[in-house]
Chains A and B, each alone.
Chain A
Amino acid sequence: MSFPETRRNTPPTADAPAVELLRIDKRFGTVHANREVSLSVAPGTIHGIVGENGAGKSTLMSILYGFYRADRGEIRIAGRPAAIRNSEEAIAAGIGMVHQHFMLVDTFTVVENVILGAEGGRLLASGLHRARSELSELAREYALDVPPDALVGDLPVGLQQRVEILKALYRGAEILVLDEPTGTLAPQEADHLFRILRRLKAQGKTVILITHKLREIMAVTDRISVMRQGRMVAHRDTSATTVGELAELMVGRRVLSEVKKGAAKPGRDLLSVENLRVCDDRGLIRVHEVSFAVRAGEIVGIAGVAGNGQSELLEALAGLRPVARGRILVAGEPVGAGSRLRRHLGLAHVPEDRRRMGLVMPFEARESAILGHHDDPRYRRVALFDWATISRDTASKMDAFDVRPADPRRITAAFSGGNQQKLVLAREFERDPLVLLVGQPTRGVDIGAIEFIHHRLVAMRDAGKAVLLVSAELDEIMGLSDRILVMFGGAIAGEFPAGRATERELGLLMAGAGSAGRERGAP
């Protein structure tokens, strides 16, 4: 147990790094999350770690905090090897973590949350008393004002985050790790957070900041490490790098043969979006009055760092999320609510998360292959499913999309990620839709399947469909799209015709560096 008295007051030796990770390796089943990752963080600095979703940043930090144990590798704290097997040992080693999803108890007050696990005795009274006075001291020291007796659930997100930081400091953290701290913050809240971080640094604390938001990391860090696909690919001094360079490092280049495609022959507008506003589940506006159109025979790619409103836009278009304002037209006709109706209008949707949404994991492949079309009379004889027809239909889809093994009765979950994705694509493409909404079509898919999927997307375009492609992979967007829209902060930050955009330009816009005035959209 670590109480405030046991704070590690020994100052770090002059040149030893505060945190040193040496050749950390971690696998989850078949996923190689961290490959020989090394990192060195100087004491009293703010160190940023950037990378796309799934690059392995969070895994690395979870290892540092004792959530996972590395398969191989070593952790050193202030120059000394440290065995960190659980959170308790991490806390004892002076590490504090602010998780992306706050580890707070909503029904507790701020002080109760702060003392949880560091109560200082069997009874709460003295611990609460000490925490209260300590909190007001910390508040003065670091601009961390939080009402100590307020219920955490009643506080805005920014203040909840301060409670997380206070929790770490109360436990005597010398090293503070923040995982995607600005993901849910309003701009002013984020600015305040950065002020706090600078103060922490001024007081000699070491801060590790994990994010995929480049502009922010440029503003607040001293040094930056870039991760990609489980590897540490570069370390830079913040003063010696640019947003553009970081974006390139983050995205990297995958070894893919270029998609061969002819020039687009765009026809009429099949999907039009007018002043669309969409909110997330908490009611925050995630898409700010967006307007664009996708024409027959073209692929429009939406580029953007995850969390800038693309997912919400896609879900709203698919009818899975209510439209707060504006309207959506398919082939010139305004659409109503609900996803089933839209399917009848000729809208197909490949959802970003196939496991949660696109497929039903415990179902047989043929059952997953009729999701959304289960009411189609073609699949029925009188009132009952005609499984023979469905099996044949599924088998032919599986053939056409090279789903392996082509067994319509295999349980969906038993297919590999790539084959699951091809099953979704087969279901949605073979319906001969007018408009295709495609989210992250190649996420977690092997290279061979990626090329296959890319060719099918181009084929759909050439067949006169309107394709809207949302992807976190910049080269996918650049390789496939006839037009590229860049989303930042819920608004469209820029538009490029095919071939006219460079990775650098896109990266800058994606990072919000392109047009300061449009940052985070209209009020």
Chain B
Amino acid sequence: MTKVRFLRATALEELRANIRINLGAYRTGSFSEVSADSSYWFEHDIEFDEGALAALQPPVDGKFFEVENCAIVYRALSELSPYEARDERLWVYLSHTVLLQHARARWPIPADDDAATKHVAKHFFARDKRQVERDNVGSRLWWMAHLCARISSMDHEQALRAFLFRSDVRANLVERPTTSQCSDLFGAIVRKLATSLDGEKQLFQRSMFRRLMTEINSVGGYKLLDCLPYTQLEGILDEIIVNRLQLKSL
């Protein structure tokens, strides 16, 4: 196990400012000075499994192994708290060192230098919330895994498979922070998605899922869903699916 490192702020800003100059390194070189020179980073007490992180599965024939890679990253960084996981300095260090090779494979860098500069800024850095949750090569995997890990009594990989099956469904859930923050409600929705994934996948139709979320918002408009026990939340979802969406099967 290795201690987690965070880039110092000055080193982070220098890397960000020099993306274009360093395109050769992003494409085929390395950033060995980042790990070798201790003036670039400071260490945290928490440890991670560097070997596991270096073994992320690259894409093969259009398959991205998102579920597997989310699980790998989450296990490798099991000591990370959400507090640390929100820190750009951590993810930029990892994306320039142990995740560099995977970043090239998962997010191939365009040949055009202008496009490449924007691409690197998006996937190797994590300046704002959306980048942390959606774009950075490492942080997006950790956060998707973390959202699913909060669901009690559900197999983590089963939850990930349902959550990640359709990007529109995932975006709809993640971009409604009050729904995704409430782990019981999030869990109840993901369980229904898992049932639908094993069935007719009706809930994964874009219009159907959006209607489901609209109806949940409607109920949440006069009831504080945070206060309801899990069984009642499931009952609310069942009522919406049967009576309002009029689905006989999922």
Task: Say whether A and B bind each other.
Answer: no
Residues of B within 8 A of A (CB): none
Residues of A within 8 A of B (CB): none
